[in-house]
Amino acid sequence: MYVDDIVLASNCHHEIDIVKQILNSNFHIKDLESLKYFLGLEVNVSDAGISICQQKYCLDLLSDSGMLGCKPSTNPMDFSLRLHKDSSAPLSDPLSYRRLIGRLLYLTSTFPNIAFPIQQLSQFISNPTQVHFHAAMRVLKYLKGNLSKGLMFRRDSLVHVLGFSDAD
């Protein structure tokens, strides 16, 4: 069995130690201790709580898209723009649009405010046009101005986060 990455989180360190002992008795594991970076997520644990962002991922995306030097946008979408399937000429390289939308979808885990624009743009991945591409570029411009933003889970919050993941 090969598991690439695993994160254990609990408010009880003793429980984490027990799980590590069980895993280590059955498999060879490499414990990297405190979580800093995981699957493109930058994790910072402080007295205030846990913050998660994707600044490096955003910078890589901007660089790969040739948008590293772009002027930032204050919002991710021109909400007066109505996207249609035949809004302009089709893109000559629809694969690059599909790849970009896929990468932007991954960012919605720490940028929930781009979820609506990306959902709208993802409707056109089968036949993207220039208008759709320019709208996606606007999302990148928005990200440029918000690189260090992400999610903050405050230690004193009354919200209790419970998560479960199954690879199946």
pTM greater than 0.85: no
User: Pairing between strand 41-45 and 37-38?
Assistant: antiparallel
Question: What is the distance between the alpha carbons of residues 93 and 151, in angstroms, rounded to a whole number?
Answer: 34
Q: Residue 8: what are its φ and ψ, rounded to 5°? A: -110, 130
Nearest Cα to 148, choosing from 12, 57, 33?
57
Written as one letter, the residue type at 97 is: Y
Do the domain assignments include residue 78?
yes
Do the domain assignments include residue 24?
no
SS3 helix, strand, coil % of the chain, rounded to 5?
40, 10, 50
Do the domain assignments include residue 87?
yes
Do the domain assignments include residue 12?
no
Number of H helices, E strands in the chain: 5, 4
Q: Three-class SS of residue 81?
A: coil
Do the domain assignments include residue 139?
yes
Structural domain of residue 90, as residue ranges? Answer: 55-144
For residue 59, give both structure tokens. Answer: 């910078």
pLDDT at 28: 83
Do the domain assignments include residue 68?
yes
Total domains present in the chain: 1
Print pLDDT tens along the chain (168 aa): 566 778 888 878 899 889 989 988 988 888 888 889 888 899 999 999 999 999 999 999 999 999 999 999 999 999 888 888 887 888 999 999 999 999 999 999 999 999 999 999 999 999 999 999 999 999 999 999 999 899 998 988 887 767 776 665
pLDDT at 2: 63
Do the domain assignments include residue 161?
no
Can you list the positions of beta strands (E) in the chain? 37-38, 41-45, 49-53, 150-154
pLDDT at 66: 96
Residue with the two structure tokens 């919050």: 157
